[in-house]
Structure 1
Amino acid sequence: MTYKHIKTIDTSKDFILPCRKDQLERIKDFLPIAKPDFDGSFSTHQLLYGKDGNRIYLIGLGKEKHSAQLEKTFQKLAFETQKHWDKNMQLYAEDLNQDELKKAIIGLEMAQYEIGEFKSEKEKGIKRTVAVASSNAIKNILNEGHYTGETINRIKALVDAPPNIKTPEFLGKWAEKSAKDADYKCTVLKHKELKKQGFEAVLSVGKGSVNKPVVIINEYTPKKSKKVDICLVGKGITFDSGGLSIKPSTNLHYMKSDMGGAAVVLGTVELVAKLKLDINIVGIVCSAENAVDSESYRPGDVIDSYSGKTIEIIDTDAEGRLVLADGLSYAVKHIKPEYLIDLATLTGSVVRTLGYEAAGMFTHNKVMASTMSDIGYKVHERVWQLPMFEEYKSDLHSDIADLRNFSGKPLAGATNAAQFLESFIEDHKNWMHLDIAGVSFGSSPYAKMKSASGYGIQLITEFVKSKAVK
């Protein structure tokens, strides 16, 4: 889908006409009938025909409280009706502010996502252009909305990809191509280099797989200063069998999604580069496949880590925190960012706590927590802060190593995982951990099986923008 700016709408041709709840009066001049059976309720739409036989798609924006999720109503409209569109469509945007217009474009773009990439027979898509009618200067908004929606689709495709294709090496090649296309630097550390540099936790998790682990380091640094403003670290487990602590077979096929955090990191760096934000950002993805083999690491093992700390393995299914530990240690030792954020589909505990409506947020930085929370509400990718009380730290105690990777208790699992990660940040003052297990992948009105949501791209990109030089 491409987007262009026009000053006025051609009412003799097809167009999309947004309307707030109970505000039909504002658009009455565009209506072919005085009282359509439509009240502007959120995520509703109705087709009318103009006097020239053209289609007019009324789309409901709902009330003010729905502004944060306007992309959903545009995504639904396009998903359900675009098969009837010609190559050209118009959008009347005179009454949309910049945030609303950006959301509209994101939604239209998200509707272009094709989950059936691996079907032998696929419908051939039509390349369409949406002409956006507004008297305001909107070129930058159209670009940002387009790039954001496009990036969300790209990370959804990554998360939904099957694990026999989406190996750690595949993620590395994806990042290298992205870096070439979006003009940033990408370094992929493979097995020999990981061993040389001491990524022992990453290597331990990947020992049981024929698909060897990699660590991806993406750098977008347009500022003259060498100081890195933000470093993102993502969990990139391309398939999680649980290792020797093997998971039940029910829903095991969905464990291809255990690299949702890595997808957000890869996508955000790409999007920031496309938007040419004036900020230095580094993304680190620690990627491995947690498989079962004669060489798999075992419960009871003591492994090394990049930090030099030793870890007693209680449960091989608590592997995500191990690869993140090495990524965080690398970040604080070599990147030294002002802000350090890790993202991971880390625990079932956070899903049991918050369900599927918010990510678990862990940090000691109140200002950072407040900023991220406010952004989460603004873009409808919400976060909720969970405690990291000192008393929980006893769950990390090991008699034979510096710490253990799992408490074995049925309580406070998400906090236990967050405090494990905290052990590897060297008291970084601006660190945050986001557990996105409940929001990265799940039920969708656009697929019959569970699929990727695209959560995190808008949240983290808006945080990056809040720290960028104006």
Structure 2
Amino acid sequence: MTYKHIQKLDAKTDLIILCSKGNLNTLKTFVSVEKIDFEGAFSESQLYYGSNGNRIYALGLGEPKDAVKIDDAFRKLCFNQKKYWKGTIQILADDLTIDQVKKAVVGLEMATYEIGQFKSKKEKQINLNINIFSTKAISNVLEEGRLIGETINRIKALVDAPANHKTPKFLGKWAEDSAKTNNYKCAVLHKKELEMQKFDAVIAVGQGSVNPPVVIVTEYLPKKGGKVDIGLVGKGITFDTGGLSIKSSTNLHYMKSDMGGAAVVLGVVELVAKLKLNINIVGVVASAENAVDSNSYRPGDVINSYSGKTIEIIDTDAEGRLVLADGLSYMIKKFKPAQVIDLATLTGSVVQTLGYSAAGMFTNNKKMAQKMSDIGFDVNERVWQLPLFADFEDDLHSDIADLRNFSGKPIGGAITAAKFLEAFTESHKNWMHLDIAGVSFGDSAYSKMKGASGYGVQLIANYIKSLI
């Protein structure tokens, strides 16, 4: 879709009118219905017709507390009505703030996502002109909103893709193509490079699969001097059987989504490059397929890692923290970023704790925690801080290695996973771990089966913008 700033409405063109709850004054100037059966509740919509036969959609914005999710209202309206839209549609947006206009565009762009990318008969792509009326200077935010929505759709397509297509090699090719298109650097480390550089934990997780692991390194460094302002590390398990500690078959087909953290990292680096933000950012994705084979790593094995620490394997289904351990060590030792954030669909424990409403946030840096929390509420991609108490370190004790990868206890699983990762951060003072297992993939109003949410792109991109 294309977005244009206009300062004059066309009385013959379809129009969206925005109404806060209980305030229908603007709507009444455009429709001649004596009794308007509409309250303006959040995401409520009603169709009317103007005197020239054009469609007029009333869209409810609800109450002030609903402003953070205005993109959802526009996404729902567009998703449900786009089959009736042709050519051009106008939005009367003069009452929206500039930031709300951007969020509206994000929602509209997200409504164009089609989950059926592998169907033999695909939905026809809509090609609309969205003309947005405002007396404010909004042209720049229209493009920014479009790019954010476009990027979210791209990472959703990655997460929703089946594992027979979305191998570690495929993720690497995706990143290489993105780097060429958007002018940043990308290097994909394959088996020989991984062996030479001793990415032993990544290799161990992937050694049971016919699809070999990779480590993807993306760099966007517009600032002179080369110092890295922020490093992002993503878990890229393209399919997770659980390994020899095999998962139940129930919902196993959804384990194609276990690379949600990697998708956020790839998407954010791409978006930062698209927006040409003046910040140096590096993304590292450690990607493997956790499969069952005669060559699979075993419970009881002791493996090495990039950091040099040895790890006793208690559960091969606790594989995400292993690839992240190598990714974090590599990021911190090689690039020395001022801040490090890793993202992963890491534990079922965080879902038991926070449900599907927020990501688990772990950090010892109070300033980072407060900023990330505030931004999360602002963009409606919430995080909630959980502790990194030293009490949990004993749960990772091993008699035969430096530490073990799983405590075996039925409690505190998200915390012990975070404590495991902390051991590979070189005591970095500005490290944060986000467990996005409950928010990256799940039930959706836009599909009958579970699907990708796109969580994390706006959260991390806005956090990065706050550092500039």
- Superposition TM-score tier, normalisation by shorter sequence: over 0.9
TM-score when normalising by structure 1: 0.99
- Are the equivalent residues in 2 in contact too, given 1:376–1:383 (CA < 8 A)? yes
CA-to-partner distance for each residue in 1:110-164, whole Å, 9 max, x for gaps? 1000000101111222311111111221111101110011111111100000000
Distance 1:340 1:142 in 2: 30
| Code of the aligned partner of 2:313 | I
* Residue in 1 that maps onto 2:307: 307
CA drift at 1:9: 1.4
Are residue 108 (structure 1) and residue 94 (structure 2) matched? no
On the 8 A contact 1:32/1:48 being kept in 2, the answer is no
- The one-letter code matched in structure 1 to 2:460 is I
Please provide the CA RMSD for this pair: 0.8
The match for 2:224 is 224
**Pairing 1:52-451 to 2, within 5 Å after superposition:** 52-451=52-451
- Counterpart of 2:63, as a letter, is K
Give the percent of matched residue pairs that are identical in Structure 1 and Structure 2.
68
For the residue of structure 2 that corresponds to 1:447, the secondary structure is coil
Task: Return the offset for 1:31.
Answer: 2.8
How far off is 1:337 after superposition?
0.5
> Which residue is 1:31 aligned to?
31
Say if 1:42 and 1:60, in contact at 8 Å, map to a contact too: yes
The superposition leaves residues 384-405 of structure 1 with CA deviations (integer Å, 9 ceiling, x where unpaired) of 0011111111001000000000
Take 2:34 and 2:428, find their aligned partners in 1: how far apart are those partners?
A: 62
In the alignment, the residues of structure 2 paired with residue 444 and residue 137 of structure 1 have an alpha-carbon distance, to the nearest angstrom, of 34
Deviation at 1:11, TM superposition (A): 2.3
Task: Provide Cα deviations, 1:310-348, integer angstroms capped at 9, x if missing partner.
Answer: 000000000000000000000110110111000000000
Please report how far the alpha carbon of residue 89 of structure 1 lies from its aligned counterpart in structure 2 after TM superposition. Answer: 1.1
Q: C-alpha separation between the residues in 1 aligned to 2:20 and 2:344?
A: 37
How far did residue 27 of structure 1 move?
4.1
Note the alpha carbon deviations across 1:409-452, whole angstroms, 9 max, x for none: 10100000000000000110000000000000000011111100
Q: Which amino acid aligns with 2:256?
A: K
CA contact (8 A) 1:71 1:104 kept: yes
SS at the partner of 2:232?
Answer: strand
1:273-312 CA deviation, whole Å, 9 max, x = no partner?
1111110011100000000001000000000000000000
Q: Distance in 1 between matches of 2:323 and 2:299?
A: 16
Structure 2: how far apart are the matches of 1:267 and 1:34? 49
Q: How big is the shift at 1:28?
A: 3.0
Cα distance in structure 2, aligned partners of 1:75 and 1:394: 47
List gaps (5 residues or longer) in structure 1: none
Mean CA deviation greater in 207-216 or 31-40: 31-40
| Most deviating of 65-74 and 119-128 | 119-128
2:466 paired residue number: 466
1:32 counterpart letter in structure 2? S
Three-state SS of the structure 2 residue aligned to 1:299 is: coil
- For 1:315, the aligned partner's letter is D
Other-structure match for 1:5: 5
Q: Which deviates the most, 166-175 or 130-139?
A: 130-139
CA contact (8 A) 2:27 2:58 kept: no
Aligned-partner Cα distance in 2 for 1:338–1:140: 29
Contact 1:268 1:457 survives alignment (8 Å): yes
1:34 Cα deviation (Å)? 4.8
SS at match of 1:40: coil
* Kept in 1: contact 2:312–2:401 (CA 8 A): yes
For structure 2, which runs of at least 5 residues remain unmatched after alignment?
none
Q: Determine the C-alpha separation between the residues in 2 that align with 1:200 and 1:270.
A: 28
SS of the residue 2:340 aligns to: strand
Distance 1:17 1:299 in 2: 60
Structure 2 Cα separation of the partners of residues 32 and 4 of structure 1: 28
CA contact (8 A) 2:114 2:123 kept: no
